[in-house]
Structure 1
Amino acid sequence: MQIVIFGSSGFVGKNLINSHKDFDLILPSLRNSDWANGLNDANVFVNCIGKAHDHKGTASEKDYYFANYELVKVLFEEFLKSSAQLFIHISSIAAVEENERNEVLTENSVGNPQSHYGKSKKAAEEYLLKQTLPSGKKLFVLRPSMIHGEGDKGNLTLLYKIISKGIPYPLGAFQNSRTFISVDNVVFLIKEIIKKHKEMESGIYHITDDESLSTQKIIEIIGTAKGKKPLILSPPKFLINVLAKFGDMISLPINSKRLKKMTSNLIVSNQKIKTALNIDSLPITAEEGMKKTIESFNNYK
């Protein structure tokens, strides 16, 4: 089986390559003018290309829409011209919600993207779902919650650095619960879709761990990995909110966006994908996956 992986140098792409070594992999680079050569006989297209992190704050709206929307159209048109039967597109739960929702998010939840990232991901989904699929071809749009694993460069690394340095965690007054997904579970689900797609319906599927985790639970996991008990402080919430506002204006470890990510509730259901794949649970629990990620940070000083 020939599998084309777009975005093979990225976080998810690298993990897919490592887990699909028994397949015939094609890893095109869109920087090359002849990137589409040799794709016609492929069986599966997996699109992992996407722009998410902007730690330097230099990305424009155009940058997000190019990577997360315009390129998707190009790749899907190539898929339609090829003999491939399956197109898997990695979207994001940010296409539905990025901050907080007082309900469990399902595939039928009304979208409320706020950032260029979320809006560009939503635009790509809408484009894909409007396309007519020829007989024998299927499309799967996967919406992962926050993906983590070895090599993670998101908010988890910031939290890890704070706790590792012995800096007290100042957000103890906030109690939250969020669903994440380990990159190992992402890879597992993609492999299962490739094996079972003929029995599945095209469409959108949320992918997330089976259980949720609180930020304080993640801090406990970090403490265990570092062999020290973290110090958790609980100053009034209004003081933290004021500090975050200052962080929006000047460079501070905490700002409004990070505060929401670390303290708000965002629960995503993965029941649709498990039902479609006829599985009861994912191979790695939320806590096991988070422990593996945190322990991998110890290797990067």
Structure 2
Amino acid sequence: MKIAIFGSTGFVGTHLKQNLINKYEIISYSLRDDRDNLQYIKDCAIMINLVGKAHDHKGIATEADYHYANVDLAKTIFEKFVSSKANLLIHVSSLAALEELESSDFLTEADIPNPISSYGKSKRAAEEWLLAQKISPDKKIIIIRPPMIHGSGDKGNLSLLVKLISKGLPYPLASFDNKRSFICIDNFCFFIEKTIENYHNLNTGIYHISDDQALSTKSVISIIQKEYGKRTFSLSVPRFLMIGIARIGDFLPILINSTKLKKMTSDLLVSNLKIKKELDIHTLPYTAEDGLRKTIRSFIDKK
């Protein structure tokens, strides 16, 4: 069976292609190089869309940049899907399309979306557009919402935290106690593989994926310290003081602001029960802690 992966050269795409290549014929399709030629993928049974623009930590991306990468290109891929013989389009969205800052309850697919950033809003706009399209009865669109994905080659927020701890620098937010859902790249690939194998059990719609366990920031730091053999200390800066500093950052260009502080210190929990039930998944390949340890070890091995 042929599977076309759009965005196969990125962090997630590289891992997914490697995971699937022993079972399927993988076609890496580039919209940049070949926008109009459908012949290359016309016989694919499944299409997977990993194309998109994630968070911009440098602060230079515009709303138009996000809309183009996350909405316009999703429309282009959908057009190729409906014009092909493929029966399934897996569109990888983001939890940011639903919630970005805080949820002490486990988020489900039935919750009302509340994206706040240009990234989250563009991801939600693509979801809404895709679900509004009419498709033939033999085709399905499965929209996957993962939380933060980590793994070998990851250059996101986790790698930044690892750099901080590995250098022996103190973590200043120990006064905050929070838990967040993540997904390691191996569990992500596992969910995609199971979706490919059993998509007939799914209806067109949105599905959350995540590790089975949420992790507290304190436990993440502890795991990083153990893997690096570092005995750094944490600073319990009073909450009111950190909140005050963050409010200053809302107006002045310092390292922290209210939004960043909330993302680093609030609960953000995801329920993966819907897709596990419909795909008859009982356990994932990695626990949250084991997946995190594997990611951290990959950072150490690349030193």
* Superposed pair shares fold, TM > 0.5: yes
Shift of 1:21: 1.5
- Aligned pairs (5 A) from 1:182-221: 182-221=184-223
- The alpha-carbon deviation at position 20 of structure 1 amounts to 1.3
- For 1:157 and 1:139, how far apart are their aligned partners in 2? 32
CA 153–257 in structure 1, closer or farther in 2 if over 3 Å, else same: farther
Q: Distance in 2 between matches of 1:211 and 1:130?
A: 33
Q: Deviations over 1:136-176 (max 9, x none)?
A: 11110000011111111111112111111111111111000
How large is the RMSD of aligned CA atoms in angstroms? 1.5
Cα-to-partner distance string for 1:18-49 (whole Å, 9 max, x where unaligned): 11112111111111144533211111000001
Q: Match of 1:32, as an amino acid?
A: D
5+ residue gaps, structure 2: none
Aligned match of 2:146: 144
Give, in angstroms, the shift of residue 246 of structure 1.
4.3
**How far, CA to CA, are the matches of 1:38 and 1:20 in structure 2?**
19
Q: CA deviation at 1:218?
A: 0.4
SS where residue 183 of structure 2 aligns? strand
Q: Residue 298 of structure 1 aligns to a residue in which SS?
A: helix
Aligned to 1:16: 16
Query: Which residue identity is paired with 1:36?
Result: L
Mapped to 1, the partners of 2:62 and 2:143 lie a distance apart of 25
Shift of 1:252: 4.5
Of 113, 125, 129, the match for 1:111: 113
Q: How does 1:44-59 map to 2 (within 5 A)?
A: 44-59=46-61
For residue 274 of structure 2, what is the amino acid of its counterpart?
K
Structure 2 Cα separation of the partners of residues 296 and 251 of structure 1: 33
Taking the aligned partners of 1:219 and 1:193, their CA distance within structure 2 comes to 33
Asked if 2 retains the 8 angstrom alpha-carbon contact of 1:28 and 1:35, the reply is no
SS at match of 1:45: strand
SS at the partner of 2:268?
Answer: coil
Report the counterpart of residue 39 of structure 2 in structure 1.
37
* Greater mean deviation of Cα atoms: 232-241 or 110-119: 232-241
Whole-angstrom CA distance in 1 between matches of 2:232 and 2:92:
35
Mapping of residues 93-108 of structure 1, within 5 Å: 93-108=95-110
Deviations 1:238-277 (A, max 9, x none): 2112333444555544343332222110111000010011
Q: Higher mean Cα deviation, 32-41 or 151-160?
A: 32-41
Partner of 2:162: 160
Query: Secondary structure of the equivalent of 2:107?
Result: coil
TM-score (norm 2): 0.95
- In structure 2, what residue type is equivalent to 1:256? S
TM-score w.r.t. the length of structure 1 is 0.96
Match of 1:282 in 2: 284
Matched, 1:234 2:236: yes
* Distance in 2 between residues matched to 1:246 and 1:281, nearest whole Å: 45
User: Would you identify which runs of 4 or more consecutive aligned residues in structure 1 move more than 6 Å?
Assistant: none
In the other structure, the counterpart of 1:120 is: 122
Q: CA deviation at 1:103?
A: 2.1
**Which amino acid in the other structure matches residue 60 of structure 1?**
T
Amino acid at match of 1:97: E
Q: How does 1:160-179 map to 2 (within 5 A)?
A: 160-179=162-181
* Worse-superposed segment, 8-17 or 25-34: 25-34
Long gaps (5+) in structure 1: none
- Structure 2: how far apart are the matches of 1:297 and 1:252? 28
CA distance change for structure 1 residues 4 and 275 in 2, over 3 Å: closer, same or farther?
A: same
| Contact 2:152-2:298 at 8 Å conserved across structures | yes
CA distance in 1: counterparts of 2:248 and 2:164, whole angstroms: 19
Kept after mapping to 2: 8 A contact 1:219/1:230: no
Q: Is contact 2:168–2:231 with CA below 8 Å preserved after alignment?
A: no
Report how far residue 229 of structure 1 moved.
Answer: 2.1
After superposition, give the CA deviation of every residue in 1:160-195 in whole Å (9 maximum; x if it has no partner).
111111111111110001110011111001011101
Distance 1:254 1:299, change over 3 A: farther
Contact 1:95/1:113 (8 A) holds in 2: yes
Structure 2 equivalent of residue 26 of structure 1: 27
Classify the secondary structure of the residue corresponding to 2:149.
strand
